[in-house]
């Protein structure tokens, strides 16, 4: 079936001598994987490798078999021309981290318009704003809503948050319960919109601690989740 769809590049992996295996999150079909033959050697081919940088937004024409196999890409062109996402060091490092997180968390080959819209809107926001030190924290927290384990925050005034169950509670009932300053920083993010992100003030140690908390939260709720290898680079950039 030939499909015309917008898509966001999740990853591009070199295969053999000149091929690329590209994962995209598509607006119409969810996660799809494409084999691009000879793209790294051909100068006159239809596709350029630069099209498939992480988080690039594309317009695709593709043949989808929808059988969990590699799909065939007929055409691709840039949908959104980012101004800063791939050129500013801090943002490009954040892009590397976020794309790896998406690769480790999104696996469904089915349409999810709300998730696609969330990714599209947040990446456009990141490209056009400069106060982004806490972007990755809010992005990961809000992403959990689309992945099915956003914290139940109706009682966020309580003293502990249970990472395992995703709820706030009166007392500590297991080793996955957090409280104190770390909990207060988590509460700062809950309910915050990206437009108000500049009002969230965190020290470097608090930011690193909160990121570790969110990654542990993901690890508890996503089977076989792996922490991104780019985490070390991210820490270096912010320190």
184-196, pLDDT tens digit by residue? 999 999 989 999 9
Residues 45 and 12 in one domain: yes
Residues 150 and 199 in one domain: yes
What are the phi and psi torsion angles at 216 (to 5°)? Answer: -65, -35
Task: Evaluate whether 174 touches 164 at the Cβ level (below 8 Å).
Answer: yes
Question: What are the CA-CA distances from residue 116 to residues 42, 141, 189, 202, 206 (Å)?
Answer: 32, 16, 22, 29, 30
Residues 10 and 117 in one domain: no
pTM (two decimals): 0.94
Q: What are the structure tokens assigned to 66, written together?
A: 């929808």
Indicate whether 163 pLDDT > 90: yes
Using the 3D structure, point to which of 60, 81, 102 is the last residue of a domain: 81
Residues 209 and 125 in one domain: yes
Closest CA to 151 of 137, 136, 139, 165: 165
Task: Evaluate whether 35 touches 92 at the Cβ level (below 8 Å).
Answer: no
d(CA 65, CA 48): 24
- State the residue range of the domain holding 92: 84-239
Residues 41 and 97 in one domain: no
pLDDT digits (tens, 9 = 90+) for 80-128: 999 999 999 999 999 999 999 999 999 988 999 999 999 999 999 999 9
Whole-number percent of the chain with pLDDT over 70? 98
d(CA 213, CA 156): 17
Domain count, the chain: 2
Residues 102 and 75 in one domain: no
CATH of residue 69's domain is 2.40.50.140
Closest CA to 36 of 14, 16, 20, 18: 20
Residues 36 and 149 in one domain: no
Residues 235 and 178 in one domain: yes
List helix spans (H) across the chain.
89-105, 113-128, 135-147, 180-189, 204-221, 231-238
Q: ∠ CA 62-224-221 to the nearest 5 degrees?
A: 100
Residues 76 and 98 in one domain: no
CB atoms within 10 A of CB 217: 23
In the 8-state DSSP scheme, what is residue 18? T
Residue 17's pLDDT band (boundaries 50, 70, 90)? Answer: confident
């Amino acid at each position: 079936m030939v499909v015309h769809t917008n898509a966001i590049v999740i990853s591009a992996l070199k295969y053999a001598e000149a091929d690329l295996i590209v994962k995209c999150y598509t607006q119409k079909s969810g996660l799809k994987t494409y084999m691009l033959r000879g793209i790294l050697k051909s100068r006159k081919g239809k596709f350029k490798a630069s099209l498939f940088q992480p988080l690039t937004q594309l317009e695709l024409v593709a043949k989808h078999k929808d059988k969990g196999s590699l799909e065939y890409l007929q055409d691709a062109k840039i949908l959104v021309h980012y101004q800063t996402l791939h050129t500013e060091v801090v943002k490009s490092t954040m892009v590397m981290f976020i794309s790896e997180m998406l690769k480790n968390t999104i696996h469904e080959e089915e349409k999810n318009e709300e998730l696609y819209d969330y990714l599209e809107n947040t990446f456009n926001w990141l490209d056009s704003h400069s106060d982004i030190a806490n972007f990755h924290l809010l992005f990961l927290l809000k992403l959990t809503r689309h992945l099915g384990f956003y914290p139940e925050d109706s009682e966020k005034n309580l003293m502990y948050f249970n990472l395992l169950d995703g709820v706030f509670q009166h007392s500590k009932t297991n080793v996955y319960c957090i409280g104190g300053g770390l909990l207060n920083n988590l509460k700062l993010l809950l309910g915050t919109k990206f437009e108000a992100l500049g009002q969230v003030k965190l020290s470097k140690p608090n930011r690193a601690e909160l990121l570790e908390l969110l990654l542990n939260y993901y690890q508890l709720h996503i089977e076989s989740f792996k922490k991104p290898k780019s985490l070390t680079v991210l820490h270096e950039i912010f320190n």
